[in-house]
C-alpha cells in the first residue's frame, strides 16, 4: 500500500475521530479552524503525540498501532516536518542545520548533500548564515531543506506560510508547487487558510473539533459540502433552508429529470434527487460562482433558470470585483452573496436599495444530505 494512512480515536485530552489518507505524490491539505486538532494529527504522524487509539501506516509499514502496542520513535519514522515556527537549531549555520538531518549518510558526504539541498530551495551563498541572520522566508527554506534531507517517506508541513509576509508567502507557495512535482511522496499540509488549501492541494480534508468531516478535491468540497457544518467551515455564505416540492422524471426525449425545491414563494429547479421525499426540509447551498446577475436594462436568455428578485442590501468594491449582497423577496431573512466585475456592477447601476434579479444556476445548487 503506497502512501500514508491515519486513523485516530480519542476522547481525552484532545478529542479525535479522524481518518486520513494521502497517496504517493499527493498533496492533501488538512483544513480547519485553530484548535480543531490539525497539528495534533500531524504530530501523531511524526510520532510526537500519541492518541489513546490510533494507527499510522506509511507505504505498508506500521508506525503506530495502539491496539498492537506498536509505536516507533520519531527517529525511526522517516518523516520530514516543517514546523510552524520552523524550529531551526539557532546555534547552527544553515548548512549545519541541514547536515544535522543527514545522519543516514557517511560523514564525508553530508556537507555536499546539504549544499545540494540548500541550492534546491534557492539558498546558495547563505550556507554559513545562522537562522537569526536569515529572513523569515529564508528560514522557511532552510526548514524545508532540512525536512527533505532525511529522504522522508512523507512530508509534513505545519502552517508553513503563516509567519511570512504576503509577497514571500506567494513566492514560497509557488516554490512548493514546483518542488512537489519532483517529490513522489505523500505531502500533508496543515493550514487554516482556505485559499492556500484550494490553491495548493489535490484534496482537502476538513477537520472540526478533532473530527474529519469531509475529504475531496477542493472544488468538490466547496461546491458540494457534505453537511451544513462543512459549508460553514469553508465559508460558504449562500446556505439556505428549503422544502422538496416534487420530482419530474426524465423525459422520453432524453430531457433530464429535475427536482423542484421550494424556497419561500419561489420554486427552484435543481438536479434530480428522487430519493428525497416530497415535503422534506433540506438545507441547500449555491456557490457564488453559480449566481448570475440579470442585466437590468436588457433581459436576455437563460433568465428563466431560477430567477430570484430581490433588493441589494450591501455592496463592497474590492479592486476589480464588486461583492454584492442581495436580499431576496422570497426570504427577507436571507442574503445571497455573489460577485461581479466592478465595471459590470457600475454599468448595471448597482447600488444599495436598488432592485435586481439573479439566476441561481440549477447545476450549482447543492442539497445537503441529512
Partner 1 sequence: MDWQALELTILLGIWTTAILLPFGVWLGRVLAWRDFPGKAVVEAAAALPLVLPPTVLGYYLLVALGGASPIGQLYRQVFGHLPVFSFEGLVIASVIFNIPFTVQPMQRAFEAIPREVREAAAVCGMSPWRSLLRIELPLAWPGILTALVLTFTHTVGEFGVVLMVGGSIPGETKTIAIAIYDRVQAFDLAAAGQMALFLLLLSLATIAVANAYTRRVLRH
Judged by CB under 8 A, the residue of 15, 25, 74, 136 near partner 1 is 74
Instruction: Say whether residue 4 binds partner 1 (CB under 8 A).
Output: no
Contact 19, 179 (CB under 8 A): no
Q: Pattern 252-281, binding to partner 1, x per CB under 8 A?
A: ------------------------------
Distances (CA, A) of 192 to 36, 75, 155, 158, 214: 10, 28, 18, 10, 15
Smallest gap, in angstroms, from Cβ of residue 185 to partner 1? Answer: 15
Q: Candidates 4, 81, 204, 213: give the one binding partner 1 (CB under 8 A).
A: 81
Asked if 297 interacts with partner 1 (CB under 8 A), we say: no
Q: Does 90 bind partner 1 (CB under 8 A)?
A: yes
Task: Check binding of 88 to partner 1 (CB under 8 A).
Answer: yes
Grid cell for residue 156: 509534513
Q: Of 139-158, which residues contact partner 1 (CB under 8 A)?
A: 146, 149-150
Number of residues that bind partner 1 (CB under 8 A): 26
Going by the DSSP 8-state scheme, the letter that residue 304 receives in this structure is T
Among 54, 58, 94, 101, binds partner 1 (CB under 8 A): 101
Site string for partner 1, 32-51 (x = CB under 8 A): --------------xxx---
User: Which span sits near partner 1 by CB under 8 A: 29-37, 76-84, 193-201, 345-353?
Assistant: 76-84
346 binds partner 1 (CB under 8 A): no
Instruction: Specify the 3-state DSSP secondary structure of 319.
Output: coil
Question: For residues 266-298, b (16+ Cβ closer than 10 Å) or e, as one string?
Answer: bebbbeebeebeeeeebbbbbbbebbbbbeeee
Nine cell digits for residue 347: 454599468
State which H helix or E strand residue 219 sits in: helix 218-223
Please, which residue, 150 or 169, has the CB nearer to partner 1?
150
**Where does residue 304 rank: exposed (0-12), middle (13-18), buried (19+ CB within 10 A)?**
exposed
Report in angstroms how near the CB of residue 83 gets to partner 1 at its nearest. 5
CA distances from 325 to 174, 236, 287, 340 (A): 33, 13, 13, 11
215 Cβ partners below 8 Å, 6+ apart? Answer: 20, 21, 28, 203, 204, 205, 206, 221
Using the contact rule CB under 8 A, the part of the chain among 8-16, 70-78, 185-193, 271-279 near partner 1 is 70-78
Which residues of the shown chain bind partner 1 in the complex (CB under 8 A)? 46-48, 73-75, 78-81, 83-85, 87-91, 100-101, 103-104, 130, 146, 149-150
Amino acid at each position: 500500500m503506497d502512501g500514508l494512512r491515519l486513523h485516530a480515536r480519542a476522547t481525552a485530552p484532545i478529542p479525535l475521530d479522524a481518518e486520513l489518507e494521502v497517496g504517493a505524490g499527493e498533496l492533501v491539505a488538512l483544513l480547519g479552524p485553530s484548535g480543531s486538532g490539525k497539528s495534533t494529527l500531524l504530530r501523531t504522524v511524526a510520532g510526537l503525540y500519541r492518541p489513546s487509539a490510533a494507527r499510522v501506516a506509511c507505504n505498508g509499514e506500521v508506525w503506530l498501532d495502539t491496539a498492537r502496542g506498536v509505536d516507533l520513535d520519531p527517529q525511526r519514522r522517516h518523516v520530514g516536518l516543517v514546523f510552524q515556527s520552523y524550529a531551526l537549531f539557532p546555534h547552527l549555520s544553515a548548512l549545519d542545520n541541514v547536515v544535522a538531518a543527514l545522519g543516514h549518510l557517511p560523514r564525508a558526504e553530508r556537507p555536499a548533500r546539504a549544499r545540494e539541498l540548500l541550492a534546491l530551495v534557492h539558498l546558495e551563498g547563505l550556507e554559513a548564515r545562522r537562522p537569526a541572520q536569515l529572513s523569515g522566508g529564508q528560514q522557511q527554506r532552510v526548514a524545508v531543506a532540512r525536512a527533505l534531507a532525511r529522504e522522508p517517506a512523507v512530508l509534513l508541513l505545519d502552517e508553513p506560510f503563516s509567519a511570512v509576509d504576503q509577497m514571500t508567502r506567494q513566492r514560497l507557495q509557488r516554490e512548493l508547487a514546483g518542488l512537489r512535482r519532483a517529490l513522489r511522496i505523500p505531502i500533508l499540509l496543515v493550514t487554516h487558510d482556505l485559499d492556500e488549501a484550494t490553491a495548493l492541494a489535490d484534496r482537502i480534508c476538513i477537520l472540526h473539533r478533532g473530527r474529519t468531516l469531509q475529504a475531496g478535491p477542493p472544488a468538490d468540497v466547496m461546491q458540494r459540502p457534505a453537511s451544513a457544518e462543512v459549508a460553514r467551515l469553508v465559508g460558504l455564505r449562500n446556505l439556505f433552508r428549503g422544502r422538496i416540492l416534487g420530482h419530474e422524471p426524465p423525459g422520453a426525449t432524453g430531457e433530464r429529470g429535475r427536482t423542484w425545491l421550494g424556497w419561500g414563494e419561489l420554486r427552484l429547479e435543481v438536479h434530480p434527487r428522487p430519493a428525497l421525499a416530497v415535503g422534506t426540509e433540506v438545507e441547500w447551498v449555491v456557490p457564488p460562482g453559480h449566481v448570475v446577475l440579470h442585466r437590468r436594462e436588457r433581459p436576455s436568455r437563460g433568465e428563466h433558470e431560477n430567477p430570484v428578485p430581490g433588493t441589494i442590501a450591501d455592496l463592497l468594491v474590492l479592486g476589480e470585483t464588486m461583492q454584492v449582497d442581495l436580499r431576496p423577496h422570497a426570504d427577507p431573512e436571507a442574503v445571497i452573496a455573489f460577485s461581479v466585475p466592478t465595471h459590470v456592477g457600475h454599468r448595471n447601476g448597482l447600488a444599495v436599495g436598488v432592485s435586481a434579479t439573479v439566476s441561481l444556476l440549477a447545476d450549482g445548487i447543492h442539497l445537503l444530505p441529512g
